[in-house]
Chains A and B, each alone.
Chain A
Amino acid sequence: MTVTITEAGNTNKLELTTSPHLHNQWTTKKVMWMVVAALAPSLLAAVLFFGIYQLLIITTAVVFAVGTEYAIQTVRKQKLSVVDGSAALTGLLLALTLPPNFSLSSTAIGSIVAIGLGKQIFGGLGYNIFNPALVGRAFLQAAFPVAITTWSTNKFAVDSVTSATPLAAFKFDRITAGLSEMFLGSTGGSLGETSALAILIGGIFLIAVGIVNWRIPFSMIIGMIVFGAIFNFIDPVKYPAPLFHLFAGGFLFAAFFMATDWVTSPVTNKGMWIFGFGISFVLIVIRLFGGLPEGVMYSILFMNAFVPIINRVTIPKIFGSVKGAAA
């Protein structure tokens, strides 16, 4: 609502919106594009380690994610939200969890499922329960179990040990890859997941600008070190050292970019701790006792389902009250 006034020869239209009249200038769109920017180092690492073809996978994933959102919203006659960048981000995240040289048609299917089943079926951005990119990824895992665990050789791999994913090598052959290779990323693995360095650059950037709440990655990492150390202490031969867990598989990528998805993680600070520890716990159980070498995707999806409950049990105590809010 506006009202027109004339004052000292000027005619001004005055807005009558309510307080506060200032805003920190963040928008949904800005947030999404910032996350995309934070993924740039991982994207570069993917191309560097696995070749230019990976750009095709990424492009396919993004185009189909955006296209699916556009199509669904057009059919449902909803306001088009494609410019907010969230669909593009989902596509990008999905692509970075895929193995190098993955088939483009399967990538497209993954994106369609991520947006269709992961997001729009719940009512679009803000209403989905599960991380859309992980829904797409889980679907591909179920539909193409062989293709999605076929790892092409990393161009910088020093020997056959590092060409398999470190987790699979450990799980099936009890071989631990070198930590420095895992840190830089010259091992086998998914596009965006091999280089811890690239992930940390983007992740720390997101924490610095206030998009990622540090509690989630931090509690996941601490959880992983603690749980890993306990098992490693029990039987160092059977269970790998805690640091191996941190740098292996998609753990770090998930800790900074997947578990931290606003919509599907808890809203309270305390809840974020529970969520992060929970993911690490489920993950270590899957890694050490499950049939799969990698399980971070499932552990996050699993904890996503508990977010409403976590939110309910971590309602902050109202300032000055002795008991909880609902008391």
Chain B
Amino acid sequence: MALKTFHGGVHPPEFKKLTETLIFEVMPAPQEIYIPLNQHLGKEAIASVKKGDSVSIGSILAEADGFISAPIHSPVCGTVTSISKQTTPTGFPQQTIVIKTNEQLENLFMSPLNPKTITPEEIIERVKNAGIVGQGGAAFPTYIKLTPPKDKQIEFVILNGCECEPYLTRDYRFMIERPEAVIEGLTLFLKAMGVVKGYIGIEDNKPEAIKIITRAAENENNIEVFSLKTKYPQGAEKMLVKAITGREVPPGKLPLEVGTVIQNIGTAVAVYDAVVKGEPAVTAALTVTGKGVKNPKNLLVPVGTPIKDVLDYCGGINGDAVKLIVGGPMMGVAQFDLMAPILKATSGILVLTREEVSRGEETACLKCGQCIDVCPLNLMPTKLVRYTQLGRFEDAGLFGITVCMECGTCAYTCPANIPLVQWLRLGKQRVKQIQRQQAGLQN
């Protein structure tokens, strides 16, 4: 049988060998941590502590503000030393709570709940209060995904175990080390949403994870594990839904449009811990890797730990490192300030050398069509970029530039080495701006 997958995509080298066999290590809290008030998609949380307050692990630092927002808890014991603008890995400074840590390890976790007897309402409430956000990249508050609009019939919850970004092995380690938490987490999602069918999609370059997860799900009749073809971006939501259910999410829509909700492996584990241990989202699981870091590791780090401390913990960086990235190498963000903190949804820190990031000289577009062939969303990157360069934003919009998910597949492939994603991003911003203006005029 042909393996389930989607059209297009590429096969970048995986580089997962660097860390895939390394067990998660718990990194001790650094002397100072930095907690930005906005670590999620949506509205910034409102600080509920002030300078001088002492806090324990699990104390509430900030409350959710409105519907799309998430509360933030303290990952350490210590004293709030300031609430001020600090750098973040997104590149934009944010209001940040700075805490000086002390040696104590007192925790104020919530009361544990029994996953067998818990009600759907209790699950949603717990996920909300624990401040859990999606671990797949966008950091969307998870409880919102558990409460879809009433008019949307949800048929499947899919756990995303693809981890299609090269280098990263965080989700892989979760599947290997905590298979029960993964399965229980998915069961909690299903229960919370009243959905019967749960799927787990794993790329076939992770046979060990497929084996272990399949075994863990053995007694769960409503959970099915899928081995998917290894191809970037198999883990993109639309591609995953397509591969497993055969359904196509329409442009500009979410998977719930086709009756599906996607959750990340890391999110399932976080939800499990929030329910069973009462632990709020205070720990980030991430892979620190790349040929530019001395000792690559899979780590459990207190949220808010500066990148610098994480790198020091991993033995520091090599002299030939030329790029520091938060996230994966295909979609992650290059960093310029080592004091930027780890966020709830940070999945990796990459320190890459020249050899790993080298790219050729840019030339004019050769009209080879390869960007079109590989674009998983069937866009025409060469055309969209041309329109953007010419300032023809209306045409760029017409040809679907706003649909682009910036996955980087096209730019990875382009033999002319054109920074396609950079242009696409610019074009998208302008087109959206223009669309907003037009919408404003019509009102």
A residues near B, CB below 8 A? 3, 5, 7-10, 12-31, 81, 84, 124-127, 210, 213, 262-269, 272, 315-322, 325-326
Residues of B in contact (CB 8 Å), total 75
What are 5 A-B pairs at a CB distance below 8 A? Answer: A9-B316, A14-B334, A17-B419, A19-B325, A320-B377
Q: Give the nearest-CB partner of A317 in chain B.
A: B378
Contacts of A12 in B (CB 8 A): 317, 319, 321-322
Contacts of A127 in B (CB 8 A): 364
The answer to the question of B318 belonging to the interface, with a C-beta cut-off of 8 Å to chain A, is yes
Contact indicator per residue, chain B 392-422, by CB within 8 Å of chain A (1) or not (0): 0000001110010010110111011101011
* Interface stretch of the complex, out of B42-50, B67-75, B107-115, B353-361: B353-361
Kindly name the residue among A16, A23, A210, A269 whose own CB sees the greatest number of chain B CB atoms within 10 A: A23
Known: A316-B380, A325-B398, A325-B400. 19 other contacts (CB 8 A): A8-B311, A8-B315, A12-B321, A12-B322, A14-B334, A18-B334, A19-B325, A19-B333, A20-B411, A22-B166, A24-B413, A25-B359, A27-B360, A27-B415, A126-B364, A126-B367, A318-B377, A325-B399, A326-B398
Contacts of A24 in B (CB 8 A): 10, 12, 412-413
Interface residues of B in 67-87 (CB under 8 A from A): none
In the bound assembly, the distance between CA atoms of A319 and B239 in angstroms comes to: 10
The 8 closest A-B pairs by CB, nearest first: A8-B316, A20-B408, A27-B360, A267-B369, A126-B364, A320-B248, A23-B359, A262-B368
Q: Give the nearest-CB partner of B8 in chain A.
A: A319
In the bound assembly, the distance between CA atoms of A320 and B252 in angstroms comes to: 9
CB B180 to nearest CB in A, in angstroms, measures 34
The answer to the question of B32 belonging to the interface, with a C-beta cut-off of 8 Å to chain A, is no
Task: Choose from A10, A263, A315, A322 the contact partner of B366 (Cβ within 8 Å).
Answer: A263
In the bound assembly, the distance between CA atoms of A26 and B413 in angstroms comes to: 8
Task: Choose from A13, A81, A210 the contact partner of B363 (Cβ within 8 Å).
Answer: A81
In the bound assembly, the distance between CA atoms of A24 and B415 in angstroms comes to: 8
A30 and B321 within 8 A (CB): no
Contacts of B100 in A (CB 8 A): none
Q: Give the nearest-CB partner of B425 in chain A.
A: A18
The answer to the question of B212 belonging to the interface, with a C-beta cut-off of 8 Å to chain A, is no
A22 and B12 within 8 A (CB): yes
B365 and A5 within 8 A (CB): no
The answer to the question of B427 belonging to the interface, with a C-beta cut-off of 8 Å to chain A, is no
Q: Give the nearest-CB partner of A318 in chain B.
A: B400
Kindly name the residue among B248, B318, B363, B412 whose own CB sees the greatest number of chain A CB atoms within 10 A: B363
In the bound assembly, the distance between CA atoms of A23 and B248 in angstroms comes to: 28
The answer to the question of B276 belonging to the interface, with a C-beta cut-off of 8 Å to chain A, is no
Contacts of A263 in B (CB 8 A): 366-367
In the bound assembly, the distance between CA atoms of A326 and B366 in angstroms comes to: 24
What total count of A-B pairs have CB within 8 Å? 198
Contacts of B329 in A (CB 8 A): 19-22
Contacts of A316 in B (CB 8 A): 372, 378-380
Q: Give the nearest-CB partner of A326 in chain B.
A: B398
A319 and B377 within 8 A (CB): yes
Q: A12-B322, A21-B330 are in contact. Are A124 and B364 (CB under 8 A)?
A: yes
The answer to the question of B141 belonging to the interface, with a C-beta cut-off of 8 Å to chain A, is no
A21 and B250 within 8 A (CB): no
In the bound assembly, the distance between CA atoms of A18 and B332 in angstroms comes to: 8
In the bound assembly, the distance between CA atoms of A264 and B334 in angstroms comes to: 37
Task: Choose from B318, B357, B370, B377 the contact partner of A15 (Cβ within 8 Å).
Answer: B357
Kindly name the residue among A7, A22, A27 whose own CB sees the greatest number of chain B CB atoms within 10 A: A22
CB B339 to nearest CB in A, in angstroms, measures 10
B415 and A28 within 8 A (CB): yes
In the bound assembly, the distance between CA atoms of A161 and B359 in angstroms comes to: 53
The answer to the question of B308 belonging to the interface, with a C-beta cut-off of 8 Å to chain A, is yes
B380 and A14 within 8 A (CB): no
Contacts of A5 in B (CB 8 A): 324, 336, 338
B251 and A15 within 8 A (CB): no
CB B343 to nearest CB in A, in angstroms, measures 17
A17 and B334 within 8 A (CB): yes
